[in-house]
Structure formats: structure tokens, C-alpha cells
Amino acid sequence: MKFLDVKTDFAFKKVFGSTDSKDILISFLNSVIEFDNKQKITDLTIVDPYSIPLLRGMKDTYVDVKAELSDKSRVIIEMQVLNHEGFEKRILYNAAKNYSIQLKKGDAYHLLNPVIALTITDFILFDNSPELINNFKLLEKKQFIEYSDDIELIFIELPKFIKTEEELETIQDKWIYFIKNAGDLNYIPDNLEQELEKAFNVANEAGLSEEELELQHKKKDWIYIQKSSIEL
């Protein structure tokens, strides 16, 4: 068996953003997002599902997956393999843009629904934080009073995840392990939840068309060249 490197934008959107990926995405989001009321996501709609023609260009270093939850909240999930100037500002801008475009001229502000921007990076973004997952909201500086939870930024830094297959305990562990390591595995690990097994099957290169395989290989080469250029 050979699996796609899920860290590439093409593979990430194929696994988590296809029309039949709803159960996969629900399981993943429930494992990494902690809602204040301890509720879980039970249903969602994938916005702009995976389509090969949308991924032909090699200029973008990311493709996001958007999902609308049953309560009308929107989650934007992004896999980013390359850091660049202005990256953190772009994440905030995209979240704010997705928040503001909900209203049409004349609409009341109370119609705005929350936006969660979930960003997975293949590099260290917060050197001063040992946490694997960092959450950001609007808070009062001194007393940490929450102003609003309408915009939340969540970052998962893959290099901080160092657990081996034998050390995986929670479903969160298994999902992050899958995203970080699937491209290096030649088998499906044991004791996985149904949604994780399905994700591995979606990422199995044996089920891809020649066009999809070509896109994946070109994208991996492009990312390798970009990383090599930065290092040089």
C-alpha cells in the first residue's frame, strides 16, 4: 500500500473535503475543537467540495476546506506546509472576511454566525508555546473577559507531535498522526475508528486516477523545490 501525503493541499482536500467525506470531517473536527458547551458536531455541509480542476494551479501553497455546521457556524480548515511573510495576518484576514461576507446590504448584525479558522502547519509557528494546539479568541487584556467567541483561531503545529504509533491513545492522537505520517506508511494501523480507516482508504493511491496521481506528484515536487529554495 502507498498513501497520499495528506500534508499536501491536493490530498488534504481530497480526504477531508470530498462530497462523501462528511463523517471523516466530523470525526476530525470533534477531536481537535473544544466547544465551550462541550457539545459535539453532529452534522455539517462541506462548502465547495473537492474537484480536480480547482487544483491545477501551482501558485497557491494552500487549499482550504470549508464546512458549515448545523448551527450555521462556519469552520475553515487549512493545511499549510510553507511559512511566508504575512502568514499569520492572512489567517486573520481570511477569518474576518468569512465573518463579514455573511451579511448583505441592510442585514442586521445579529445575523452573523461564528467562524472558526483551523490551521494545520508543517512548521513551528509559536516557539514560545509548548502546546500542540493553540486557541485564540478576543479577550480583555487584564481580566481575560471574553468579548466574543464569534471568531476563533486554532493552530495545530505538526512538528510538535512526536508520538509513535504505539503511543497513540486518543482519537485526536490518531488523526494528527494520520495527517503527519500517512505519506510515509505502507499499511493501515490497527485499532482505528471507522472514520480513520475510511480516511486511509481515501488516501490510498491505488484508488486514484492517473490525473490525480500526476497532480499529487507534481505538487510534492513543487513543495520540495520551494522548501529547498527557502533553506538555500
% of the chain with per-residue pLDDT over 70? 88
Examine residue 57 and state whether it is found in any structural domain, yes or no.
Answer: yes
DSSP state for residue 204 in the 8-state scheme: B
* Cα(153)–Cα(138) distance, integer angstroms: 10
Examine residue 52 and state whether it is found in any structural domain, yes or no.
Answer: yes
Examine residue 4 and state whether it is found in any structural domain, yes or no.
Answer: no
- The confidence score (pLDDT) of residue 155 equals 97
Examine residue 196 and state whether it is found in any structural domain, yes or no.
Answer: yes
In this predicted model, what pLDDT tens digit does every residue of 126-149 receive, in sequence order? Answer: 999 999 999 999 999 999 998 888
Examine residue 2 and state whether it is found in any structural domain, yes or no.
Answer: no
Examine residue 103 and state whether it is found in any structural domain, yes or no.
Answer: yes
Q: How many domains does the chain have?
A: 1
The C-alpha cell that represents 205 in the structure block: 493511491
In this predicted model, what pLDDT tens digit does every residue of 24-58 receive, in sequence order? Answer: 999 999 999 998 777 899 999 999 887 765 444 44
- The confidence score (pLDDT) of residue 210 equals 73
Residue 61 reports pLDDT greater than 50: no
CB 41 within 8 A of CB 69: yes
pTM to 2 decimal places: 0.87
State in Å, rounded, how far the first CA of the chain is from the last one. 34
Examine residue 65 and state whether it is found in any structural domain, yes or no.
Answer: yes
Q: Which domain covers residue 190, as residue numbers?
A: 9-231
Examine residue 124 and state whether it is found in any structural domain, yes or no.
Answer: yes
CB 99 within 8 A of CB 152: no
